[in-house]
Amino acid sequence: MKVLGRDGFLTAIDRLIGQQESKLLKTLEIIIEQCDKERQRWHNSKGNRTEIINKTSKSEPTVNRYIGRLTEAEILLKLPDEGRGIYKINPKYLEILK
């Protein structure tokens, strides 16, 4: 597997989603930064969404839509057994970051 840097990772995700929306990709980048590095989990909390809203200058409904699109594309995977609003980044995309 070819090793890609952060820009290469975002380009790969951009192609997968089929969009050229920099704010959607910025949302993904912020989610990756917010992840619990030890457990590779992200909590879709009000605080985390507020940080995304502030950093992307998008509304809460737009950020929620972006999270939904990342989930539909199976980049974010819901983990209902671990609690409400718990996600992880699909491991196949985390491999690209290594």
pLDDT tens-digit readout, 9-40 = 556 666 655 554 678 888 988 999 999 888 88
Task: Map residue 78 onto helix, strand or coil.
Answer: strand
φ, ψ at 41 (rounded to 5°): -120, 150
The 10s digit of each residue's pLDDT in 66-89 is 999 999 988 899 998 888 899 998
pTM of this prediction?
Answer: 0.75
**Residue 4: predicted pLDDT:** 43
Domains located in the chain, CATH noted:
6-97 (1.10.10.10)
φ, ψ at 84 (rounded to 5°): -70, 135
> Is the distance from CB of 44 to CB of 89 less than 8 angstroms?
no
**Residue 20: predicted pLDDT:** 46
Distance in angstroms (rounded) separating the CA atoms of residues 72 and 32: 17
**Residue 90: predicted pLDDT:** 87
Distance in angstroms (rounded) separating the CA atoms of residues 72 and 52: 19
